[in-house]
């Protein structure tokens, strides 16, 4: 009985070690041959002020959409007055991270 227990324990430890050594694959990599995986991004993220969110977005997503900065009210706060600053930051963010920007 001790032999069976010891063998089971050793086998389990060996499997867990090999599983830990595998590189964690992001969602975008797991589905790269099937479709894009997207995320809505706000101005805090696209401005580079949320490092943790940027880390997750880089790892798991290959497609982005603006949360609000590309809506007409944001782009043209007054009739005839346009503000592209936040939209431009999002475009730069997507290009920098090699992601498709939709919208």
**DSSP reduced 3-state for 65:** strand
User: Comparing 14-18, 20-24, 62-66, which segment has the lowest mean pLDDT?
Assistant: 14-18
Give the Cα separation of 29 and 27 in Å (integer). 5
Average pLDDT estimate for 1-20: 49
pLDDT by residue (tens digit) across 21-61?
578 899 999 999 999 999 999 999 999 999 999 999 999 99
Give the Cα separation of 80 and 38 in Å (integer). 32
Q: Within 10 Å of residue 47's Cβ, how many Cβ atoms?
A: 15
- Strand partners for 40: 65
Compare 72 and 22 and report the one with higher pLDDT.
72
Q: Within 10 Å of residue 87's Cβ, how many Cβ atoms?
A: 20
The pLDDT assigned to 46 comes to 95
Give the Cα separation of 47 and 59 in Å (integer). 18
The pLDDT assigned to 103 comes to 87
């Amino acid at each position: 009985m001790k032999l069976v227990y010891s063998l089971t324990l050793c086998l389990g430890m060996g499997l867990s070690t090999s599983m830990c050594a595998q590189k964690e694959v992001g969602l975008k990599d797991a589905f790269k041959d099937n479709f894009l995986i997207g995320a809505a991004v706000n101005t805090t993220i696209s401005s580079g002020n949320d490092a943790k969110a940027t880390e997750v977005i880089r790892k798991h997503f290959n497609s982005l959409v603006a949360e609000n900065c590309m809506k007409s009210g944001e782009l043209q706060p007054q009739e005839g007055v346009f503000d592209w600053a936040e939209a431009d930051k999002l475009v730069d963010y997507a290009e920098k991270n090699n992601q498709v920007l939709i919208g």
